[in-house]
Amino acid sequence: MTVGFPDSGSEYTAAKTAAACRALGVTQSMGRVGCALDNAAVEAFNSTLKVEFAHRQSFKTRVEARIKISTWIADFYNTTRRHTANDGLAPITFERQMAEKRRAPSAQLRAEVA
């Protein structure tokens, strides 16, 4: 899924833009006016992507850029790179721990009921 995170300008909110996004399969995501935190996570990701990877590379084509960036995200950013928002864990490790914590109470409840 492709998600667009622009500002709340009239070009983005126009009916023609919305129709074009729907036709292309792009999900529009726009935060509340005056709330700087709505897109903070994606802005932080974009900054990290540029500083830690994209600006250190030279891509010959857009296809090459897409492949290398996708590979960096899948093989490093999500699996290895530690994130302060995740208690210093990589996203996949953090999500696994959270899933396990969610399963533990339900397993305990099932054991108590049985």
Spans of all domains in the chain: 2-81, 82-114
The closest alpha carbon to 6, from 48, 58, 43, belongs to 43
Positive or negative torsion for Cα 82, 84, 85, 86 = positive
Q: Which tens digits make up the pLDDT trace of 65-107? A: 999 999 999 999 889 998 888 888 998 999 999 998 888 777 6
How far, in Å, CA of 8 to CA of 87, rounded?
32
Q: How many residues are recorded in the chain? A: 114
- Give the H or E element holding residue 4: strand 2-4
**Lowest-confidence segment of 18-27, 52-61, 65-74, 103-112 by average pLDDT:** 103-112
Q: Is the pTM of this model over 0.75?
A: no
Q: Which tens digits make up the pLDDT trace of 33-56? A: 656 566 777 788 889 999 999 999
